[in-house]
Chain A
Amino acid sequence: MVATCASATARTHVMAKSPLTNMIGSTNMGGFFAPELAWAGFHHLVIKGKAAKPVYLWIHNGEIEIRDASYLWGKTTTETEWAIREELGDEEIKSAVIGPAGENLVRFANVMTGIKNSGGRTGMGCVMGSKNLKAVAARGTMDIKIAHPIDALEYNKQFIDQITSAKVNQTQGALGTPFIWGATNSWGGVRTRNFQYNQLEYADEVEPENIDAWSKKSCGEYNMTACFGCQVHCRAKYKIPDTTLAQKFGLVGKYDEGPEYTSQGAFCSEPGCTKLDTLLIGNHLVNQYGVDNLEIGSIISWAMELYELGILTSKDTDGLDLKFGNDEALLEMVNRICYRKGWLGDILADGGIPAAEKIGKNSFNYLVQVKGMNNLHSDERATPALALNIATASRGSDHLRSRPAIDLYHLPQDVMRRIYSSPVPYDGPLSSDQREYIGKPWQVFWHENCYMAVDCLGICKYHTVFLGATLPNFEDWPKAIYYNTGLEMTPKEIWDVAERCNNLERLFNLREGLSRDDPKKGDTLSHRYFDEPCRRGAPDVIGATIDRKKFKEMIDEFYEYHGWDKNGVPTPETFKRLGLDNEPSHLL
């Protein structure tokens, strides 16, 4: 649906085998690249093989050219984008690029476009780097045909009004994703100091309102910006303040966008830092280097815990005092990882599991990951549905593939029933209590299909039921699809497409060694979820752990809905039902 009249059709999706998880690699970003590529005449690119020396692709009105990128090698993400515009003499060129992290084959390097749009999970930037592909540049002035233009326009208007009338999106449009932080940190839903605590104290400076105040001060009263065609405009603009730290890094006054909720995790809650400038600088560094903020924040915090435990020593860190709350050490480590500097920087750049193997000494025990990918800084011990979500997400620990985020809203039963029994009937239990285990497997299953459909449609999750129960889902998309493309689909058909995609990803992962209880490759959680109770937060959060037995039952039930056996392998009937029986990759 990219570049059509459906709302916020801005998303670029990048897929390959992940160098971080060795399983499905998949990442999705907003911005302006995808529509530009569409106006240049292409909706999908398949890039095979590897260039002998650095190159970039130049895609323009139906033509693709491979061009020399040696002069771009070493440049940061935005430097690269601006340089390509200058070389080709067109300010409207949009590029998907890698920064130094991708070039240096950091296994969780991003593909980036614009100032801050990050294809940030599973290391797709590393894949581009391994192909010597610095950038894909696009510029197009070709028409995208809209099947029923006037209807599409009117329906878009209706969508926009529905979307922007939701309180959650209004808040999002004022404060950006950090607005969630205010809530999750106060009830104890974030992970701090790796996994030791679940609430960040003395965090006033990095509360959303304070970030917003700085943002306004540095960028004017109207300080939000948006992806293509989006009226939610969820990202704040800011300039880096003049502080000692900013001076040290030579970044005073630099412009950037965000910081997102994940950056608050990476540069505040997980490493136990509480300063606004650290957050803003950290966010800028990851955007410029092109690296996954979430992964790098988690992995440094893990190293910090190892350092405090004495598993890592100052010899390993080349003298860096890598303790929790050391802002400068945190930012220095970002630098070292992206440039693979020093022993520790180099091994951390390979991701948690390989690094744990090199460090040894029980270090793996402290790594909070699923399938080799670190989790968002959220703490799911008090929310079994969310725990099930990260354990089973196809691309590894992941909050964007199946998270039933609205499970936290205590929705009335009839509202839940309305959402979850369509387009496929469901009359099983549903619980409005987020601490419950009952009914949750269905919710996770439903959201998994929902978000897959969203990603397939190329629209943004904030324009769907992701954070707002009244926002569009399966029932609303058929019209948008029909008016824009002329394709007639029922909600159930969209669901089926999503289910097929999810099963294909499952097959891929099974081929790569997924096995249910394997702590490194399975649908399971770090033992700390089961063994270490939450220490802080609201009364119903303190003392929470995930119950092993109930967790196992949730997984069983979740597999059942998919039509998978007890090991999570799709059954022959499931292949048949989905029309996948001719799919060769299931011949494992």
Chain B
Amino acid sequence: MEKVLMIDYQKCTGCRLCELVCSVKHDMVSNPARSRIKVIKWESEGLYVPVSCQQCEDAPCMNICPVKAVFRDKDTGAVMVNYSVCIGCRSCIAVCPFGAMNFNPLDKKVFKCDLCSGDPQCVRFCNVKAVDYVDATKESSIKKRDAALKISQAGKLGATIQYEG
């Protein structure tokens, strides 16, 4: 079954280990500038949000690519780049709503998350599960559960307030 990256920014501790392991896994060096995932931070608030490719169904990068270099991997569902076709025009970067398509000025190549062929290292190393890899259908049921919990808590609180007058 197809799986997706699920990000829960509330759990993120901002350590950026995901960025490190992503660069080591793909490029054999430590360099977050090469990472496919990036933790965006609002440090004066303590807010950290990991941002990565959503492997969109109707992927803008795939749609805009003038040479059809962007394609979907059948096994993982990941949106991939075929470098023998890519001309490096960077249109895909311009249209990605998440900034998840990147450009590496050294190799002069666009690059993006490929879900590590089904074993995403960012997920493997994130013990707090701010980044998780779940069945595509589960993502929404997990979110539903969270929302339901909040609703029930709010309900209980409402009852107490009423009771206490």
Complex interface residues of chain B between 1 and 57 (CB less than 8 A to chain A):
10-17, 20-21, 24-25, 27-34, 41, 43-46, 48
Nearest 6 pairs between A and B by C-beta? A141-B33, A226-B15, A143-B29, A237-B46, A233-B13, A144-B30
- Decide: A5 and B20 in contact? CB cutoff 8 A: yes
The secondary structure that dominates the B interface is: mixed
Chain A residues whose C-beta falls within 8 Å of the C-beta of B28 in the assembled complex: 146, 149
A83 to chain B, nearest CB (A): 12
With A4-B30, A141-B31, A149-B28 as known contacts, state yes or no: A230 contacts B43, CB within 8 Å: no
Q: A137-167, CB under 8 A of B: which get 1 and which 0?
A: 0000111111001001100110010001000
Interface: A220 (CB within 8 A): yes
In whole angstroms, what is the CA distance A78 to B46 when docked?
13
Interface string of B104-135 (1 = CB under 8 A from A): 00000000000000000100110110000000
Q: Which residue of B lies closest to A147 (CB)?
A: B28
The interface size bin for chain A is 35 or more
Q: Which residue of chain B has the shortest Cβ distance to A115 in the bound complex?
A: B43
Residues of B contacting A179 in the complex (Cβ-Cβ under 8 angstroms): none
A145–B16 contact, CB under 8 A? no
Report yes or no: A114 in contact with B125, Cβ–Cβ below 8 A: no
List 23 A-B residue pairs with CB atoms under 8 Å apart, sorted by A's residue number.
A4-B30, A5-B21, A32-B16, A39-B31, A39-B32, A114-B43, A115-B43, A143-B29, A144-B30, A146-B24, A146-B30, A156-B125, A222-B10, A222-B128, A225-B13, A226-B13, A226-B15, A227-B15, A228-B15, A228-B16, A231-B128, A233-B15, A255-B46
Task: Please name all residues of chain A whose beta carbon is closer than 8 Å to the beta carbon of B20 when the two chains form the complex.
Answer: 3, 5, 228-229
What residues make up the interface of A, taking CB atoms closer than 8 Å to B? 3-5, 32, 39, 78, 82, 91, 114-115, 141-146, 149, 152-153, 156-157, 160, 164, 219-222, 224-231, 233, 237, 255, 257
Shortest beta-carbon distance, B26 to chain A, in Å? 10
In the complex the two chains form, is B30's CB within 8 Å of A5's CB? yes
CB-nearest residue of chain A to B14: A225
Cβ contacts under 8 Å, A231 to chain B: 15, 17, 125, 127-128
Partner of B17, one of A39, A146, A152, A229: A229
Q: How many B residues, CB 8 Å from partner?
A: 31
Please state if A153 and B25 are interface contacts (CB–CB under 8 Å): yes
Give the docked Cα–Cα distance between A219 and B48 (Å): 12
Q: How far apart are B136's CB and chain A's nearest CB, in angstroms?
A: 24
Q: How far is the CB of B48 from chain A (nearest CB, A)?
A: 8
* CA distance in complex: A39, B11 (Å): 27
A221-B31 Cα distance, complex, nearest whole Å? 31
A78 to B42, CA, bound (A): 13
Find the residue from B24, B30, B41, B45 having the highest chain A CB count within 10 A. Answer: B30
Q: When chains A and B are docked, how far (Å) is the Cα of A172 from the Cα of B162?
A: 39
Known contacts being A141-B31, A144-B29, is A257 close to B46, with CB within 8 Å? yes
A3 partner, pick from B25, B30, B43, beta carbons under 8 A: B30
Given the complex of chains A and B, what is the CA–CA distance between A296 and B21 in angstroms?
40
- Interfacial chain A residues near B127, Cβ < 8 Å: 160, 164, 231
Report whether A143 and B31 are in contact in the complex, using a CB–CB cutoff of 8 Å: yes
Known: A157-B125, A164-B127, A233-B15. A144 touches B45 (CB 8 A): no
